[in-house]
Chains A and B, each alone.
Chain A
């Protein structure tokens, strides 16, 4: 029994106060104030975010938080997006679903990123969580339309189904038919990743027609353009819409129907899709353009002048995703038209081409940085850069929170001075004091890492490739970046020294990825023995590490902190270095 003093609040009041604290970070902070706060907080926590599904076990989560309603889990490391993590690595959601099925019958929201989700898992979700409202499968794989059918059939309270960028096995187009006729609660549906046979269009039409609260609808590529008008007319309340393929023979009836349908969507603010887009049909969205806050044309092969003309009609844009067909000239127009722009992503139309196919250089980005005072987040693929441009950009945009520059030739120097790009990126970290995420590319020496360690105090995620000359570079980052949570490195000459000297730092981070670097097997073993709260995973498809010398470099290394100990679901090409490693192999 707890002794209450005159100065302590009754539990109920504290619980009420805690109910206003939504952020996980703040809740975590409150929970360590004292034991009673810890206890009260854990009973009333409803939402949990697990950034690495192997950092903790489902049992531990359930033991501490008995009544969770919303969970977000992330599985594979980020570089899995670029084919650096072989199939079978892990990230299985089934163990989590199995345990939560019993513990959290009132679970309402499941959000998964880069996890392997099987049909069995989805069937279990459908069976166990009758109150499920949100299911987001972001970059997941392992399931088919059978699993989706189970969800559709059972989850009567589902509001949001988002399969963003997932890989789904197309088995049957009729999973949409499994939503009962009485089901009307859909608010958000993203099926943009589905393949050809996956969607029965008539079922989709009926579904859209009977869900009056539908606000977000992202179609897959296979939905033809001439079906859009009909669909939109059933859902004029949409706020966000993603077309299917945006190409068709120009026909005046199709054209005018589309124009009218878009015009009637008075609340439409976000558009995407536009696969295979042809310029002829672009003007049908002009009536919506002035309201658009988000436009994703990154799958549209349209070029200038059509592309620039479209952009110039969207003065309210806050978020723009586009291919490099926009070119410097288009970005200059963007800079002068879209003063509210916060986020810009420019993707390469021909990333592996020998020669540049478009005139997109550093000038476009400089123009946007100069014209758009609210610019915070940039992802920019291009073929040339200069320190001078980067310095200008940094000075123009001290409010950057995310800056990712990808030079298609990863070790290219400043094209004007032939110097490394150290000074340019140095200016970015020096001026942008709130920078949380940074991706480097181009010719870079240890210098740039010195700047990063010195200035990037709020940096949480750093991506590095083909950069640096020695361990000093890695040491600068690990010792200087106080807020660092995720560090991913490929093809850099970083070895054991910096890693071993900063081993303790690794426990303050979520994860470290190093592939094609120079970290030796011996160092991995040593880390494994000395740091029990880290999982040191060595990945090598060529064979077990025991057959090689201690000084041999490991192919891929993934280190993450964990309170759950080493995992047991590893494929044959992943080995955990822990105290038992040596004895396991004998």
Chain B
């Protein structure tokens, strides 16, 4: 991905004065996650909002230091859907004592999303089939939709999924299998 090159450049830490273009002194750590640190482009590179889908501008996580509740609460003149707001949903996994949050807008489809979930919670999802759901693993990714129903991830087209998904839950065991049998 082109982005990983930009990422590697950005995490190169320099010992010279900021703004001077010197060769990298330290190598960056390899990363296969979506880029969070991009170098500021030019002298007037500005940071973009953490929570927006990445525009062509650079973004710096944590700068400017505006608190999340303030960012959430204060709305500027409404921008178009494509510019503003990622789709943030909470992700929980049965048995894990913590919750994570992800931005569904960032992913292009189910394979990418599932890969991310696997990395996040350190488990494997089985093979998906429309009739039988996820086979080959004790875990099944599910989500709560706008109507409050719990559905199996993958049952509806991706675009429909990201607009209707309220939260994700990686279920374990037989409870999960119950969902996959409730076919259309």
Question: With a CB–CB cut-off of 8 A, which chain B residues contact A411?
Answer: 18-19, 40
Question: With a CB–CB cut-off of 8 A, which chain B residues contact A443?
Answer: 18-19
Q: Which of A83, A92, A301 contacts B50 (CB 8 A)?
A: A83
| Cβ–Cβ contact A516 & B100, under 8 A | no
| Cβ–Cβ contact A542 & B29, under 8 A | yes
Question: With a CB–CB cut-off of 8 A, which chain A residues contact B46?
Answer: 352-354, 408-409
Interface flags, A421-442, vs B, CB<8A=1, else 0: 0000000000000000001000
Q: How many residues of A contact B (CB 8 A)?
A: 60
Question: With a CB–CB cut-off of 8 A, which chain B residues contact A79?
Answer: 62
Pairs A–B under 8 Å by Cβ, sample size 5: A167-B69, A445-B17, A465-B65, A466-B63, A516-B13
Q: Which of A167, A463, A490, A555 contacts B29 (CB 8 A)?
A: A555
Q: How large is the interface on B (under 10, 10 to 19, 20 to 34, 35 or more residues)?
A: 35 or more
| Cβ–Cβ contact A348 & B64, under 8 A | yes
Selecting from B70-78, B126-134, B138-146, B173-181, the interface stretch reads: B70-78
A353 to B60: give the CA distance in the assembly, Å.
Answer: 13
A352 to B19: give the CA distance in the assembly, Å.
Answer: 20
CB of A480 closer than 8 Å to a CB of B: no
- B15 to A, closest residue via Cβ: A493
CB of A193 closer than 8 Å to a CB of B: yes
Question: With a CB–CB cut-off of 8 A, which chain A residues contact B61?
Answer: 82-84
A268 to B63: give the CA distance in the assembly, Å.
Answer: 36
| Cβ–Cβ contact A406 & B64, under 8 A | yes
75-102 of chain B: CB within 8 A of chain A: 76, 97-101
| Cβ–Cβ contact B66 & A518, under 8 A | no
A255 to B76: give the CA distance in the assembly, Å.
Answer: 26
* Most A-side CB within 10 Å, residue of B18, B32, B52: B18
* Most A-side CB within 10 Å, residue of B44, B61, B64, B99: B64
- B99 to A, closest residue via Cβ: A87
Q: From residue B86, how far is it (CB to closest CB) to chain A in Å?
A: 12
CB of B122 closer than 8 Å to a CB of A: yes
| Cβ–Cβ contact A88 & B100, under 8 A | yes
Instruction: Report if A87-B60 is in contact (Cβ < 8 Å); known contacts: A347-B66, A553-B13, A553-B26.
Output: no
Instruction: Report if A299-B68 is in contact (Cβ < 8 Å); known contacts: A516-B11, A542-B31.
Output: no
The 6 closest A-B pairs by CB, nearest first: A88-B98, A82-B62, A81-B67, A352-B49, A84-B62, A411-B18
CB of B16 closer than 8 Å to a CB of A: yes
92-127 of chain A: CB within 8 A of chain B: 92
Question: With a CB–CB cut-off of 8 A, which chain B residues contact A445?
Answer: 17
| Cβ–Cβ contact A351 & B64, under 8 A | yes
| Cβ–Cβ contact A493 & B13, under 8 A | yes
A584 to B108: give the CA distance in the assembly, Å.
Answer: 38
Q: From residue B9, how far is it (CB to closest CB) to chain A in Å?
A: 13
Question: With a CB–CB cut-off of 8 A, which chain A residues contact B31?
Answer: 542
CB of A571 closer than 8 Å to a CB of B: yes
| Cβ–Cβ contact B76 & A350, under 8 A | yes
Q: From residue B55, how far is it (CB to closest CB) to chain A in Å?
A: 9
CB of A180 closer than 8 Å to a CB of B: no
- B101 to A, closest residue via Cβ: A87
CB of A31 closer than 8 Å to a CB of B: no
Q: From residue B175, how far is it (CB to closest CB) to chain A in Å?
A: 20
- A164 to B, closest residue via Cβ: B69
Interface flags, B109-140, vs A, CB<8A=1, else 0: 00000000000011000000000000000000
